[in-house]
Structure 1
């Protein structure tokens, strides 16, 4: 005779019908041969979302397992961590933070970090909708990256540099050069995205990596100078800066090289492919950099206005929205070119 269990149903069984109603079943993922070449990644054979579904399907795919899931969640969670840590730093239990000219670059840095993380998450979540959406969203992603580059440059120049570096020739031209390279990174990434088709040639990757690499070498120069000339034990920010440099270099490696999926195509489609590792490492890099900048802010803030002058600080901060506007205009122009190109191909 079968035994009758009087135990209450599990929470999982109780909420499954509710989840089914709230999150209706989504189309199953497909293989690379089932999506247009534009949406394929080298050595990633499965886990793609079908193209041409409703926007609602792609929004809800945030809770679906596919080959972009970790790309989206890694940057979404990092954005939340950036905001929460900033709120803790500026809150009642923080360091007496107040919004004025000397703290404005730090606010712009946090804004730039949240911008690039959010734009990246949105691009990877929604890009499978259509070819026009794919181009538009990744152009938005490149704007976010450029904004973050300049946000970093601004904060590192004002908070993480020492007097010797500021008085050098590099220190004198740093911000204009950083702004130009940030815009160039955005423009070349947009151009490479639109110009080259799969299978991508090597110079497509070089077109993306070289301007961003040069921009990073410039942006990190105030930190590199301190790391090589100052005692690490005298400043709590320097080990954090070293950590963020290491994490960035590792992330750059995985961005440039399709490892480990190169050695076993199809084995790392959903978890562990190079772009996911790039996202995770870059997220930790951003968190380490933010923590280092908090330390540098406390170190430099008392003398910041005296050394730079209030007008110079305001001018430096005003260059941030100007750079953002230039990158946005560039992305919109490239979006129009992409739309025209797709219309010609459809004729």
Structure 2
């Protein structure tokens, strides 16, 4: 009987059921189907082609948990004018971060359980990505139009509506298949870039220099660069497409994408911290 919790049980694509065959360029290191949560989680203890994906997500959870605690103590201690609304917009950002990273980590741990569990967690993984995208734009829009509440409400409603449409799409079963991978990536990318509309409006109305000071404009541009780069690498399966089998354990496009997501989230966080301090600074606040 095959031991499903040992590294010598790892499989090649030809040994997998169709629902586990998601990348034709990753040629080894696949875990067999376990039909057991405990056995899937035990794979944390040995090396396979999802190990780096799982641990990068866990690292990100710890990192942003520490950042959330540090910011709570430092920012609100220095800014007595901070309100419950500030708490809410920062909470929206960190809730999106934690939802995305925790759900994605769980998905990568459990994707070898069974087809039914794979499908369920794939949906949750997609919804976590949507939470990250939508939640990250809340503080940027809020602080970017801090004195123009009607404008900020318009853009927040727009981003929320687009996120809801994307979520409904993710719930459609055939839209979650590998054949729709490129379309899903374009959909997530488009949602992320939709934040460019309020950014462009702010740059036009305020000027780039003021927009950078008031909403962290330059940091958001850097975030979009990381986001587009990561999506491109993921879609085109670079570098494993060039040298199939060489990046099965380390260096695959999905892992590079995860690293760029961390950089994206960090650059965005720097931007919203800068925006918070500007809008609450005694010498810089406008209203």
What's the TM-score once normalised by structure 2's chain length?
A: 0.83
Pairing 1:288–2:267 present: yes
Larger Rg: 1
Question: CA-to-partner distance for each residue in 1:210-269, whole Å, 9 max, x for gaps?
Answer: 332332222233334556732289739344333222211111111221111111111111
Native 8 Å contact 2:93 2:139 kept in 1: yes
How far 1:285 moved relative to its partner? 0.8
Whole-Å separation in 1 of the counterparts to 2:42 and 2:58: 15
Pairing 1:132–2:132 present: no
Native 8 Å contact 1:29 1:49 kept in 2: yes
How far 1:146 moved relative to its partner? 1.7
- Alignment root-mean-square deviation, CA: 3.0
Native 8 Å contact 1:162 1:226 kept in 2: no
Give the 3 Å change call, closer, same or farther, for CA 173–99 of structure 1 in structure 2: closer
Native 8 Å contact 1:188 1:208 kept in 2: no
Whole-Å separation in 2 of the counterparts to 1:275 and 1:184: 25
Residue aligning to 2:241? 262
Native 8 Å contact 2:223 2:264 kept in 1: yes
What's the TM-score once normalised by structure 1's chain length?
A: 0.70
Native 8 Å contact 1:188 1:207 kept in 2: no
Residue aligning to 2:198? 222
Whole-Å separation in 1 of the counterparts to 2:202 and 2:154: 18
Residue aligning to 2:13? 32
Structure 1, gaps ≥5 residues long: 1-23, 308-347
Helix, strand or coil at the partner of 1:101: helix
Structure 2, gaps ≥5 residues long: none
How many positions carry a matched residue from both structures? Answer: 275
Helix, strand or coil at the partner of 1:260: coil
Whole-Å separation in 2 of the counterparts to 1:223 and 1:78: 27
How far 1:270 moved relative to its partner? 0.9
Native 8 Å contact 1:58 1:125 kept in 2: yes
Pairing 1:103–2:87 present: yes
Residue aligning to 1:60? 42
How far 1:172 moved relative to its partner? 5.9
